[in-house]
Structure 1
Amino acid sequence: PSPVDILKRCPTVLLFSAYNLLTFDLANQRSPESIAEDRANKPWRPIPSGKITPEKTRQALLCLLPVALWYYNDLTAGDSVFRDAIIAISYGLFNLASLRLAIGPHNSATHRGHAWTALISAVILTTMHIQDLKDQAGDRQRSRKTVPLLSGDGVARLALAFCVLFWSCACASFWQLTWRTYALSVGLSGFIAWRVLRKREAREDARTWRLCCLWHSMLYAGPLFGRA
């Protein structure tokens, strides 16, 4: 498909992604365990801050809830050691669906497109626990099995620092980025790795997590700047 055709389908892709995100957030934040955890970790969220009640959230969710999120939240799969794997698989499915929406019904995703989707899922699988560094107090209260709590804070940080740097180089190589774009991506990942290892307070971990979200966005933008 031409760039114009893809741009025309962008609203559909955005709507699809927003639907999935809204459904996940509603399901993820409404249980008593999640509310108790958020009071400790994220008191600004709508339910613990009193902006919406759990019952209203449940009613909104009834219009949106797919089976996968019921499994993740109501069966507490999100508390298990397999949580990051579930999230990585979900990312792969959502990204592949978004890709197919973007290219249209008369085109097929290439092997490279499928490989990129798998690569992003691998990034998510091995770096998602950065969000758990700042939430250890609430996660411990809920007995959630996260990487920092299972492996120890130090091991989790070392693994995260390595993976962020490794995936920056791998993704840059995959798309054959220009040296300027490569330097920007690797520079940001290096800064994140440094912060993960050196800035260990919960407030600093929250800032590092936001930087990691920016880094994820840069990885997603790789196809726009690649020469491959």
Structure 2
Amino acid sequence: MMLNGETEAKTLMSNFTATTLLRHCETAWLFTESDFKTLVFPVIVFATVVSPRPEPLALACTACWLWFHLFQFNVSNHSYSADEDIVNKPWRPLPSGRISVEDSRALRWALLVFCLGLSSVFSLNLFITSGAFTVLMILHNNLRRGHHPIFRNLCNVAAYVTAGVGCSLILSGESSLDGTSIKALSCSALVVLLTIHAQDVADVNGDEIC
């Protein structure tokens, strides 16, 4: 009977651990789900096109690097926009009650350290790129510059460019970008600057709350 009890306890503990892990993974996914078509896929495609011969391993590393930085930004951003998300995106982790504002802000600082550490593994320039992304995140979220219409667009463009630089550095395997990549990034930045405001149209109802 004692052995059966121990086995049952271990089974329950394993099930609980698996359920908790799956819930955390789903929460992380919900933080970034809406940005796959607007940031993750476009930036990876861009970096793949401008890189000479992207390797499968480098592509996987690029996707991980980009996703963790997006995760970092969104955890921070969502913690300051929970009220408008109740109207615009109630399925997100904060308005749906999957995580508290306090826990999300603690998580974002942990992710900041992780992303800088991850970038330092590849190269100094990628570490600097990650640092620049972090500064943009703090300006946009903590210092509330994201509420200024002009600075919001400029900050978003800078974030896209920073993400593009980081992904291109990993995919190319070089410590710096070539002329073609820089020109392509400049053109991409111009396109984003002129069009990114269109994404806010769908969120106008929630924005009125703030």
TM-score normalised to structure 1 length: 0.56
1:112 CA drift (Å): 1.7
Structure 1: which 5+ residue stretches go unaligned?
143-228
Classify the secondary structure of the residue corresponding to 1:88: helix
Tell me which amino acid in the other structure corresponds to 2:156: I
Deviations along 1:171-202, whole A, 9 cap, x unmatched?
A: xxxxxxxxxxxxxxxxxxxxxxxxxxxxxxxx
Q: Which residue of 2 aligns with 1:104?
A: 173
- From 139, 155, 179, the equivalent of 2:207 is 139
Question: Is residue 2:194 matched to residue 1:126?
Answer: yes
Quick check: 1:23 aligned with 2:92?
no
Asked which structure has the greater CA Rg, the reply is: 2
The number of equivalent residue pairs is 138
Separation in 1, partners of 2:52, 2:203: 44
* Correspondence for 2:136: 68
The one-character-per-residue Cα deviations of 1:200-224 (angstroms, maximum 9, x if unpaired) are xxxxxxxxxxxxxxxxxxxxxxxxx
Partner residue, 2:3: none
* Aligned CA distance change for structure 1 residues 2 and 69 (closer, same or farther; 3 Å): closer
- For 2:130, the equivalent position in structure 1 comes to none
Distance 1:7 1:123 in 2: 28
Partner of 2:56: 7
Q: What's the counterpart of residue 87 of structure 1?
A: 156
Which residue identity is paired with 2:183? A
Please say if residues 73 and 108 of structure 2, whose CA atoms lie closer than 8 Å, have aligned partners that are also in contact.
no
Instruction: Compute the displacement of 1:2 (Å).
Output: 6.0
CA distance in structure 2 between the partners assigned to 1:68 and 1:114 by the alignment? 20
| Larger RCO (alpha carbons 8 Å, 6+ apart) | 2
How much does 1:64 deviate? 2.1
Structure 1 residues 124, 45: closer, same or farther in 2, change over 3 A?
same
Of 100, 103, 109, 1:53 maps to 100
State how far apart, in whole Å, the 1-side matches of 2:155 and 2:138 are. 13
Match of 2:181 among 78, 99, 113: 113
**How far apart are the structure 2 equivalents of 1:46 and 1:128?**
24
1:129, 1:80 → 2: CA distance?
A: 12
1:134 counterpart SS class: helix
Take 1:74 and 1:113, find their aligned partners in 2: how far apart are those partners?
31
4+ runs deviating over 6 angstroms: none
AA at the equivalent of 1:10: L
**1:39 — aligned with what?**
86
Gaps of 5+ in 2: 1-50, 113-133
For 1:90, the aligned partner's letter is: A
Greater shift in the superposed pair: 118-127 or 62-71: 62-71
Superposition CA RMSD, Å: 1.8
Instruction: Calculate percent identity across the aligned residue pairs.
Output: 28
Aligned AA for 1:11?
A: A
